[in-house]
Structure 1
Amino acid sequence: MLEERFTQLAADGEIRTADPRRAVQHSTALTVLLAVDALRDDGEESAAAESEILAIIADGVDAFLRAYG
């Protein structure tokens, strides 16, 4: 589903990619995987942990858009 969306975004000129599948992998690695790693490392659910996860995701989206935007 995400690959289809990225394909459409590329067709519309919203992102630059010749390989939407790879773009999805990069997006996921920069957001979800890093957030999961942080949760695994921290091991606790707290306001600070939530804040860190939100920062990781925001930074990942920013990095993705700098590369593909």
Structure 2
Amino acid sequence: MRGIKTNELGVLDRIVSELQWKLSEICRRLHKGSGKLAEKKTGLAIVASGLNTSSSKVRRGQMRLYKEEQSGF
């Protein structure tokens, strides 16, 4: 099994950021709705919150790899 390279983490970070932006746009558009739309909005907010967590994990992974590369590991 191979490790993840720094440039692959950069790609993942961009994908997660774009998904966050798209989900926030959908949530903004659904904000005016009520009933079922509000339920969908809540579900999307949960997904967006999971993406925020994933994004920060990706960034921490990038920093760890960068530090390992700088220290010569």
TM-score by length of 2: 0.40
More RCO (CA 8 Å, sep 6+): 2
Which is greater in Rg?
2
